[in-house]
Every structure is written in C-alpha cells, then in structure tokens.
A and B are shown apart, each in its own frame.
Chain A
C-alpha cells in the first residue's frame, strides 16, 4: 500500500461528506456518473467514490467508465471523485478482476456475491485475499461483510467469526464497509472496529437510493 494514498483516503472518510459505493448504468445502476455528480453538488457532498461491478472479462467498456469519471472531474472541480471497482471474491482467495483493470483504479472492493456455503473455505479465502500481495498497493475495502453469514443463516450466532475476519482485515489495513443498504452488521461488531477503519457504503444504484440514505437519521454523516 502506498502510505500516502491510504492516509489521504482515511482523511476523506473521516473529514469529508462522502458517498461511497456507487453503481452506474454501466452495470446495474440506473443513472450516470454525471447524475450522481449533480446530486452531490445539490446536497453539498464533497466526495464521490464510484465502485463499479467488474469481472475479469468486463461486460462493458471500462475505458468509457473511466473517461466519464475524468470528464466529471473537469465539469465538477469542486467535487473529489475516486474511481474504484467491486470485484467478486473467488474460493481460495482470488479476485474476479484482471490486473490490467486493477492497475487503473486506486480503490478495490472485495465482495462475496455467490460463494459456496463453507465457512472454513470462506474464512481461508478472505484471509488469503487480505494478505495477498497482488492488491496491497490499493485502497482495499471489504464490502457486504455479513452477507455470506446471512445467506448461511449464521449471522446472529457467529459475531465472533465476523470479528476474527475483521481482525484479519484490520491487520492488513483493509477497510470494512458498513453497508447502509443491507444494514446487516450487529452493533456489537461495528462498535468493536476502530472508526477510522470503517467506511459507510451507500451501495447506491439510483438517485432515489441516495435520497433514501441521505434522509435516514442514521446516515446523518453522509
């Protein structure tokens, strides 16, 4: 990890009004990079962090997505705009992400979307991923934590399992998302994580999603 990059990112999430985890119409979102920027300007948000879905063979033109972000930086100089991707964690600890795409973004999100319901395999895969040298120069965020345990029906009984994984993430300076859309994490768990290592994620697919999160009391810091 480039120390300066992570420090800068931490300053952003601790000190600025940011919107993290945004999906556009390049994948399953309903609006464009520009739509989000306009919304952010109107709501006095300062930072946008796009984390578009990606796979090894992208289903869309990733260059155009990055070009849209570059264009938005020119059109909205008052906004700080980050480009990132949300990649699927593979059993064993790999990522469904090409090195070429990874090289072009500072933020990589690790997501367990569909994963075998084998908790040992899940734990080992995440531990391998967190310690992998492949992505260590990036800002890494473990997004949708808790989703696997929910699917496996273990969320309410396995907070310690989640805490162990969080400890592995924190050791490797992997940030942990509090996903506002799913709202799965037990309070006891989030309270046990240092604030500077948590990041609130909108997991937004539309401006309506942002409206909803923005007005909800719990998200007053957005």
Chain B
C-alpha cells in the first residue's frame, strides 16, 4: 500500500522531474502514489506520475472546486504546490483542504504575500540587516527615470523588474550598451538587456506598473534551498550556468554567510516546509538578496542529491511525522548538471524516457 497520496501541482514546471525524484528516492524507501495537475492538458508530468488532471488556472473561480474534486476522488493526503501562481490561493485555503483530509505543503498566506512582493521582501531584509542591493520602488516615468539616475545609469547598469512577478517575467537589465553589434552577433536572443528609452517606450503603451529598480550586481548567483520545521536546514548552491532563468549547472557551496542570512530571513518571514532564496554577489564580493521563492524550487533536487531530501521531509512534516535531521551529512561540492531530456509518447502511452 502507498504510504500517502501526494498531489503535485505544476506538472509542466521545470522542477517536476526533480520533485518526483525526491519523493521516489526517499531515504526510508516509502512508496507514494503521485498525482499531478497542470493548466495545460499535455504537461510532461502527465507521463511521469500515476495520474494526471488538467485544472483551470488558479485565477479562475473554479480552480478551487476542481482541486477539491481531485482531493476527494483521489483521497489525497498531501498537496505540493510548485508554481508561484498557485501558492497564495492554496495557502489561503489550507483549512479547507485540511477539512477534506489533505495538508498543503505551503507557508502561511501572510508570509507568502511578503515573500512574493519584491519590495516588501527587501524592506524586511533591510530591517534585519541582510545585505540588499540599492533599490527604489517606482510607479511612473518620472520616478523610474529618477531611480535609474540615482543608481548611476547610464554610467552603470541597473535592473528593473515588476514588484510582483513570476520567474524572469518582466525582468530587464538596463544598459546603455544594449543593442550593439557585438551583442547582436555574439549573444543569444534572450532579450534581457535593453536601454532606458526602449523600456520607457514599451511601458508608455499600457497601464504603468510598479517596478523595483535596483543596482546591477555583477557577481556569481546563488540559490539557497531551505527546510524549516522544528529545525532549519539551509543549503546554498552556486548557479554555474543559467538558461532562461533555470539552473543548468548547480554546485552546493556551504557558505556560512548565505546560511546565516537565509536562516534569519526564513524566521523573519515565518516561512515553513521547503522554499528558497536567491542572492547575487556585488562587485565587492558581498552576497545581496535578490528574491524569495516561497515554494519548492526548480532545481531543489541538487540538495536532495547532496544528502538532504528536503522535499520528502516537508511531506513527512505535513503528515505530522517529526523529522530527525541530526547527523545529516550534506556533501559540499555536489553538482547537478541538466541535459535536454524528454519522454517519447505514442497514443498517450510512454514508450521511452531520455
């Protein structure tokens, strides 16, 4: 008999295979029945889990109803939300799902609201002396221009991103050197860099958004995986290679400063289960907070392979089983290298995995 039925949302999210791996390769050899959902009918998780359901987008009224039906029909014990769009609505209904017999692996709604709001997050970090880049909240052309000027643009690069966004959506690096011939010929067309005038031109076409404009940090980027229940375990990893915002080569690097900052921030935000932060090094070599992912992170499987299966332990915590993490050995230097994989499908049946 399966130990528990676990529903993973975001079956098409980049981290789906890693989350499934974490559940299947758990240290106690427990067997879970895994059900997945996604807003897309043909998300890849459909072929990797025992059962799959298409659900409405979380902004739609019938999303909760649809999730409720799945919880009832599949006798779900645990829900692991993988997408930023879903975590708040699920966090706001944890009691409802608990009443149906399912626990949601998610932090309190108030914590998620702060963590997802880049401005509130940086304000909170500043209060507890966690290094942050210089930043300004802008809401108009005038304030945007002023913020970039204060940050030394055009002499220095700056970063603009929506106050609340998912992944890299809306992110732009403001650079006077954007659009030059060298970039055209030698860079992939990811379109992250632009100049201020081009950005203003785009923004003038619609409702002006709130943007956080911050100092550009030139150094290495780190993702921090955090498990927080009765105890806290923090595992920083360097992002050696990033493509479209996803770590393609990650290496565990147990830096004391990142562990200390993440532990403090996790407590200040009252986040729980498993989640993460991102830091980037300044030109002076100081790690500065970029953002928080208050959910399972896409490449968290790196920490699982380094010796601490925080996704599994989050599930166990949600089931009420106390996790003993004393004596856990995390292998510093563990790397996780992605490759282009996939599943072969014929008539809806998996015929091979690469």
A binding-site residues for B, Cβ under 8 Å: 23, 27-28, 53, 59, 88-92, 94, 96, 113-118, 144, 147, 150-153, 203, 205
Cβ of B330 < 8 Å from any Cβ of A? Answer: no
Given contacts A28-B99, A53-B98, A114-B319, 7 further A-B contacts (CB under 8 A): A27-B95, A59-B94, A91-B320, A96-B320, A113-B102, A114-B77, A153-B1
Which among B2-10, B208-216, B217-225, B305-313 touches the partner chain? B2-10
Are A114 and B320 neighbours in the complex by a CB distance under 8 Å?
Answer: yes
Cβ of B67 < 8 Å from any Cβ of A? Answer: no
A151–B96 Cα gap in the complex (Å)?
18
A96–B108 Cα gap in the complex (Å)?
16
Are A116 and B319 neighbours in the complex by a CB distance under 8 Å?
Answer: yes
A58 nearest CB neighbor, chain B only = B95
Q: Which residues of chain A have C-beta atoms less than 8 A from B179's C-beta?
A: none
Cβ of B333 < 8 Å from any Cβ of A? Answer: no
5 contacts across the A-B interface (CB closer than 8 A): A59-B94, A114-B102, A114-B103, A116-B321, A117-B3
Cβ of B122 < 8 Å from any Cβ of A? Answer: no
Q: Which of B94, B95, B321 has the most CB atoms of chain A within a 10 A radius of its CB?
A: B95
Cβ of B93 < 8 Å from any Cβ of A? Answer: yes
Question: Given A53-B95, A53-B99, do A115 and B108 touch, yes or no (CB 8 Å)?
Answer: no
A113–B103 Cα gap in the complex (Å)?
8
Cβ of B78 < 8 Å from any Cβ of A? Answer: yes
Are A117 and B95 neighbours in the complex by a CB distance under 8 Å?
Answer: no
A73–B203 Cα gap in the complex (Å)?
57
B binding-site residues for A, Cβ under 8 Å: 1-5, 75, 77-78, 93-96, 98-99, 101-103, 108, 318-322
B272 nearest CB neighbor, chain A only = A57
Are A28 and B318 neighbours in the complex by a CB distance under 8 Å?
Answer: no
Q: Which of B3, B5, B93, B98 is A113 in contact with, Cβ under 8 Å?
A: B98
Q: Which residues of chain B have C-beta atoms less than 8 A from A92's C-beta?
A: 322
A59–B107 Cα gap in the complex (Å)?
11
Are A151 and B75 neighbours in the complex by a CB distance under 8 Å?
Answer: yes
Separation in Å of the A11 CB from the closest CB of chain B? 29
Separation in Å of the B194 CB from the closest CB of chain A? 43
Separation in Å of the B248 CB from the closest CB of chain A? 35
Q: Which residues of chain A have C-beta atoms less than 8 A from B103's C-beta?
A: 113-114
Are B101 and A114 neighbours in the complex by a CB distance under 8 Å?
Answer: yes
Separation in Å of the A137 CB from the closest CB of chain B? 24
Are B95 and A113 neighbours in the complex by a CB distance under 8 Å?
Answer: no
Are B99 and A114 neighbours in the complex by a CB distance under 8 Å?
Answer: no
Are A151 and B321 neighbours in the complex by a CB distance under 8 Å?
Answer: no
> Nearest 7 A-B pairs (CB), nearest first?
A28-B96, A27-B95, A90-B320, A114-B103, A114-B77, A151-B75, A28-B95
A117–B78 Cα gap in the complex (Å)?
12
B104 nearest CB neighbor, chain A only = A114
Are A28 and B102 neighbours in the complex by a CB distance under 8 Å?
Answer: no
Separation in Å of the B16 CB from the closest CB of chain A? 22
Are A59 and B108 neighbours in the complex by a CB distance under 8 Å?
Answer: yes
A27–B100 Cα gap in the complex (Å)?
13
B6 nearest CB neighbor, chain A only = A114
Separation in Å of the B75 CB from the closest CB of chain A? 4
Separation in Å of the A149 CB from the closest CB of chain B? 11
Q: Which residues of chain B have C-beta atoms less than 8 A from A117's C-beta?
A: 1-4, 77
Are A151 and B95 neighbours in the complex by a CB distance under 8 Å?
Answer: no
Separation in Å of the A144 CB from the closest CB of chain B? 8
Are B99 and A88 neighbours in the complex by a CB distance under 8 Å?
Answer: no
Question: Given A88-B320, A91-B319, do A116 and B98 touch, yes or no (CB 8 Å)?
Answer: no
Q: Which residues of chain B have C-beta atoms less than 8 A from A116's C-beta?
A: 3-4, 319, 321
B33 nearest CB neighbor, chain A only = A117
Are B98 and A88 neighbours in the complex by a CB distance under 8 Å?
Answer: yes
Q: Which residues of chain A have C-beta atoms less than 8 A from B96's C-beta?
A: 27-28
A118–B31 Cα gap in the complex (Å)?
12
Q: Which residues of chain B have C-beta atoms less than 8 A from A203's C-beta?
A: 99
A27 nearest CB neighbor, chain B only = B95
Separation in Å of the B98 CB from the closest CB of chain A? 5
Separation in Å of the B108 CB from the closest CB of chain A? 7
A72–B77 Cα gap in the complex (Å)?
35
Q: Which of A28, A96, A118 has the most CB atoms of chain B within a 10 A radius of its CB?
A: A28
Separation in Å of the A133 CB from the closest CB of chain B? 20
B79 nearest CB neighbor, chain A only = A114
A28 nearest CB neighbor, chain B only = B96
Q: Which residues of chain B have C-beta atoms less than 8 A from A90's C-beta?
A: 320
B270 nearest CB neighbor, chain A only = A57
Q: Which residues of chain B have C-beta atoms less than 8 A from A28's C-beta?
A: 93, 95-96, 98-99
Are A152 and B1 neighbours in the complex by a CB distance under 8 Å?
Answer: yes
Q: Which residues of chain A have C-beta atoms less than 8 A from B77's C-beta?
A: 114-115, 117, 151
A214–B102 Cα gap in the complex (Å)?
27
Question: Given A27-B95, A114-B77, do A151 and B319 touch, yes or no (CB 8 Å)?
Answer: no
A57 nearest CB neighbor, chain B only = B108
A117–B1 Cα gap in the complex (Å)?
7
Separation in Å of the B283 CB from the closest CB of chain A? 41
A153–B33 Cα gap in the complex (Å)?
13
Are A115 and B320 neighbours in the complex by a CB distance under 8 Å?
Answer: yes
A194–B119 Cα gap in the complex (Å)?
60
A28–B93 Cα gap in the complex (Å)?
7
Q: Which of A23, A96, A114 is B78 in contact with, Cβ under 8 Å?
A: A114
